[in-house]
């Protein structure tokens, strides 16, 4: 399975501009019509039905407590494909130009779906993320507040259950995720607030990755989407995955993350060059040398002045 086959949906939280202004910015890129749906609910949605008849939403988000309620906006994309990423980047640029911003409270959530996802693939994904969890948090710059509340580490008891008894059915995986079978999962079930949210998959067949810090940098947004797609592609294509956690070492963090991106996730080559740069930007260490770039000792006499210069030749 190629990662380009995965379908995506993106939620981008913003502050400083009202939802109508953000919706107009989206419309300036995708065309179509802007409508204030409003209503008695707390989300106060604005919609943009674009020229391809896809619906973009801009809704309120109560978690963005750093600004007044009318200046909290969460962009909810329609279902997109790999080929739609450049247009999404233009949407991000337009939203930034309209004056919207992000802060430490904002985040990006990436939803992923594919018709051939299996229980084994989802278990592989959970173990893959769990193994690299510390280095992923560091690379994405997740602050402690968001890690404690909105994108918690994967429950080790869930990892223990899927490791001891690899799930063969979605019913079994559902039971392992919740601790008991949930026939009708609730949208705001407490298990959703994890770096990996499988509650979303049991609810609407789309898993969610929640660890990404807020950004209106188009390159950064593309990087986290490609990273998400590569994680799922790896989980779907590999026979199995280890859940043994890798210890985070600041001295080799940039090297370790680069190896993970290139060797495990196959994010190599010019197509992923910018994404790699964004995902390595916050990491300490040297990307090419695990234990630091070696110091080259100069041979004795290397700094001596050549004889012909001394003699005026």
- Side-chain-side CA neighbours of residue 85 (13 Å): 21
Digit-by-digit pLDDT tens for the chain (313 residues) are 999 999 999 999 999 999 999 999 999 999 999 999 987 567 899 999 999 999 999 999 988 999 999 999 999 999 999 999 999 999 999 999 999 999 999 999 999 999 999 999 999 999 999 999 999 999 999 999 899 999 999 999 999 999 999 999 999 999 999 999 999 999 999 999 999 999 999 999 999 999 999 999 999 999 999 999 999 999 999 999 999 999 999 999 999 999 999 999 999 999 999 999 999 999 999 999 998 788 766 666 555 444 343 344 3
Q: Which whole-number Å values give the CA distances from 14 to 63, 70, 218, in the listed order?
A: 11, 11, 14
CB-CB contact of 199 with 191 (8 Å): yes
Q: Which residue has the tokens 């674009």?
A: 50
pTM: 0.92
| pLDDT, position 294 | 80
pLDDT (0 to 100) of residue 307: 39
Strands 107-113 and 7-15: antiparallel
pLDDT the model gives residue 306: 47
Q: What is d(CA 203, CA 258) in angstroms, rounded to the nearest whole number?
A: 34
3 state DSSP class of 168: coil
User: Given this model, what pLDDT does residue 299 score?
Assistant: 65
- Please provide the size of the chain in residues: 313
């Amino acid at each position: 399975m190629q990662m380009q086959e995965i379908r995506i949906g993106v939620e981008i939280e913003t502050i400083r501009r009202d939802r109508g202004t953000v919706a107009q910015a989206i419309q300036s890129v995708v065309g179509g019509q802007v409508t204030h749906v409003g209503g008695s609910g707390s989300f106060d949605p604005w919609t943009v039905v674009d020229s391809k008849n896809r619906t973009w939403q801009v809704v309120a988000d109560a978690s963005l407590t750093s600004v007044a309620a009318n200046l909290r906006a969460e962009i909810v994309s329609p279902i997109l494909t790999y080929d739609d990423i450049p247009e999404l980047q233009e949407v991000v640029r337009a939203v930034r130009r309209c004056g919207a911003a992000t802060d430490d409270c904002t985040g990006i959530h990436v939803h992923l779906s594919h018709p051939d996802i299996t229980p084994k693939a989802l278990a592989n994904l959970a173990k893959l993320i769990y193994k690299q969890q510390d280095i992923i948090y560091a690379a994405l710059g997740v602050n402690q507040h968001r890690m404690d509340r909105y994108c918690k580490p994967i429950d080790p008891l869930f990892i223990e259950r899927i490791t001891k008894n690899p799930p063969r059915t979605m019913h079994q995986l559902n039971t392992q995720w919740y601790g008991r079978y949930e026939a009708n999962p609730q949208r705001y079930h407490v298990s959703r607030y994890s770096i990996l949210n499988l509650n979303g998959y049991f609810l609407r067949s789309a898993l969610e990755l929640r660890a990404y810090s807020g950004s209106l940098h188009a390159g950064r947004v593309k990087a986290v989407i490609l990273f998400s797609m590569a994680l799922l592609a790896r989980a779907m294509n590999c026979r199995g995955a280890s859940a043994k956690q890798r210890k985070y070492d600041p001295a080799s963090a940039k090297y370790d993350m680069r190896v993970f991106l290139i060797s495990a996730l196959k994010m190599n080559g010019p197509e992923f060059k910018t994404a790699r740069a964004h995902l390595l930007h916050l990491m300490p260490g040297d990307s090419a040398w695990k234990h630091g770039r070696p110091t080259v000792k100069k041979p004795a006499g290397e700094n001596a002045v050549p004889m012909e210069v001394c003699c005026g030749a």
